[in-house]
Amino acid sequence: MPIRQITIIGTGLIGGSLGLAFKNHGFTGRIVGCDRAPVIERAIHKGAIDDGVTRPLDSTHGSQLVVLATPVGAVIELIRELSPALPATTLLTDVGSTKAEIVSTAQACFKESAARRFLAGHPMAGKESAGVESADADLFAGAAWFITPLRDQEIHSGICGEYLAWIEKIGARLAVLPADEHDQLCAWISHLPQMISTALAAALVEEYGEDAPLLEAGGRALREMTRIAGSPYSMWRDIAMTNKKNIGDAMLKLEQQLAHIRENLDSRELEREFEQAHRLKKIPPAKKTKK
């Protein structure tokens, strides 16, 4: 059965961008949003959704695909709420930034049918500004979209396969790996950079006050390192809680590295640290797909 209607629960930056991306790349079906009434109104005005309701279960009626685009804690609660009521033909998926606890919850709720009814995903895309006002149809172009399959899950067949084809059509690059490996990797490549930016910005405010002209004086390097410090706590709270060990391990190793540099600011060991850092491959900019 082809996807004719999609429900997106959470029509903020990611959910709104997903709706815009589907529409811009040829999805002609109906997209229903679920959020607070003022957010739904803004999402409709933006063109991200066709209609919206405020109650999650009501928003899923008639949809072949339901996307949970909320913070991780809400994703977990929504799986518990929706799993008993969703038709067996409806695929539930998510865009949560951590995966192990989400996958575990889906397996517990859907039991033996979990592999047919739930697909865990995580697009590596975002902005420091939240809300549907910042939604962008090109947000996912060139970005990795992690899929963490359940055991023996056939992700390229049925509605799963059609949904993944749409993910590639909007410009994302699919990457498949187990949930625990995803959480360990993202602790390093996503969660640790956020904590570094937050810590640096907080330390600068403590040292110089919030009105000091730091960004102008510090130039591009400081702007780039503190840009994501503006990311919303409401999202990062759930990420930190559900990936605490991996983030803590990464932070400890970084603290040890910083301590080693601090202790060798006046020695040739500092040069060796720079040489090792230079071995990291340069990260190319994301490629934008042509419409």
Q: How far is CA 272 from the centre of its chain?
A: 35
CA dihedral 44, 49, 50, 53 (to 10 degrees): -80
Q: What is the pLDDT of residues 123-177, one digit of tens each?
A: 999 877 788 999 999 999 999 999 999 988 999 999 999 999 999 999 999 999 9
pLDDT of 100 over the 50 cut: yes
- Note the pLDDT of residue 218: 85
Third-level CATH fold of 182-278: 6-phosphogluconate dehydrogenase C-terminal fold (1.10.3660)
Third-level CATH fold of 5-177: Rossmann fold (3.40.50)
pLDDT of 282 over the 90 cut: no
Range 94-118 average pLDDT: 97
pLDDT of 51 over the 60 cut: yes
> Collapsing DSSP states into helix, strand and coil, what is residue 34?
strand
Those residues whose C-beta lies under 8 Å from the C-beta of residue 124, and which sit 6 or more positions away, are 143, 144, 145, 146, 189, 190
- Note the pLDDT of residue 284: 63
Domain ranges of the chain: 5-177, 182-278
**What CA–CA distance (Å, rounded) separates 33 from 44?**
9
What pTM did the predictor assign? 0.90
- Read off the pLDDT band of 213 (50, 70, 90): confident
- Read off the pLDDT band of 291 (50, 70, 90): very low
- Note the pLDDT of residue 288: 47
Range 14-34 average pLDDT: 97
- Read off the pLDDT band of 289 (50, 70, 90): very low
Burial class, 60, CB count within 10 angstroms (exposed 0-12 / middle 13-18 / buried 19+): buried
One fold for 5-177 and 182-278: no
Q: How far is CA 74 from the centre of its chain?
A: 13
Among all chains, which residue has been given the structure tokens 């799993």?
A: 83
